[in-house]
Structure formats: structure tokens, C-alpha cells
Chains A and B, each alone.
Chain A
Amino acid sequence: MQLARVEGSVTSTRKHPSFAGWRLLICQPLDSDMEPGGAPVIALDSLGSGMHQTVLLTSDGAAARKAVGDEMSPARMMIIAIIDESQEDQ
């Protein structure tokens, strides 16, 4: 899984039907010292993640397909947890 920070959202009317009704959030993956690393990705969100919250992303399509309830959905990146705070051993 990947730690990321919610930094926005996208709207799309013409998309794969299994995404209908899902929030599509722009998530910026974070590296080991919680700084932006790499390009933002768009993840499905059902937890109501808020702006600038740290979340946990999964890229496991099987879990995403189950969540959207469509075994033929291309869904992949999905927010599976909202992080309170993460401790690193200094």
C-alpha cells in the first residue's frame, strides 16, 4: 500500500459505469519523509476523506472491483484508510 495526501478531486461524466457515484480524489503519493513523491494519482474514495488528509492507497484491483460491485470494472487505486498520524522511529 501507499501513503498519500488528498490534494483535490476530479469530475467525469463519461467514464466506466462502475465508477458512477464514486468520489474521484487526487492523491499525492508521499515518500519516506512524508514529502510529495511522484505524480498524483486518482483514487476511488468511499470513506469521505477530506482535503489534505493523509490516506492509505491500495492498487489491488480485486479489492476495488469488489468495492464497486462489478467484476469487469477496471477500478484499481482506492483509498482504504484515513491515517490519524504516522510515527517513524527517528
Chain B
Amino acid sequence: MKLGTVIGRVTLSVTSPGLDGARWLLVSPWTRDTFIHGLSDGNQITSESSLVIYDNLGGGIGDVVGYIEGREAASPFVNPPPIDAINAALIDKYFYTPRE
């Protein structure tokens, strides 16, 4: 699972089957700097390229989410949709003490 900040929401118009009615979040992935310096300077967007994740936990803009990429993202479905990133956790707090 990786951390990222929700910076937007995505609405799909034409989708492949199995994707309609889903909720999509635009997420900016955290880098090591984000863990160390946090997002205090109000800048929610990191240097990593953003991605869209499937969401059924109700993440909102500004939330920190734990998302999972790869085939495992489609595991929690009876008939898996063609997705490769899913919101697995809304993060309350993180405690980070890197060893210098």
C-alpha cells in the first residue's frame, strides 16, 4: 500500500463494462520528502505523477489515502472490473521517524 493525497475527483462518461457507478479519486502519490517534510506548505501535489484510484471508502479532496496498485486492486469484487488501483484505507495519522 502506498500513501497519497486526494487532489481531485474524476467523473467518467463512457466506461467499459463493470466500471459504471463507481467513484474515482485523483491522487498525488507521496515521495520520501512528503513523509519527511509533510505537506505543510499547502502544496498538495508532489513530484510523482498523479493517478486515478477506485474508491468505495468515501475519500474526499485533501484526505490522505492508502492505495494499492496492481492485480490485487481488483480482488475485492465478485466479478473484477479492469482496475489496477484501489483506495484501501483512509489514513488518520502517520508516525514517521527515519533513521539518519
Contact = CB atoms under 8 A, between A and B. Distances in A.
Contact of B95 (A9, A43, A52, A77): A9
Interface residues of B, number: 33
A61 B71 CA distance: 8
Contact of B32 (A39, A43, A61, A76): A39
For the residues of B in contact with A, the DSSP-based class is mixed
Interface string B8-51: 00000000000000000000011110010000000000001000
A71 B89 CA distance: 18
A30 to B, nearest CB: 11
Contact of B92 (A13, A39, A74): A13
Given A26-B94, A38-B32, A39-B2, 4 more contacts: A11-B93, A14-B89, A15-B57, A16-B76
Contacts of B88: 15-16, 19, 74-75
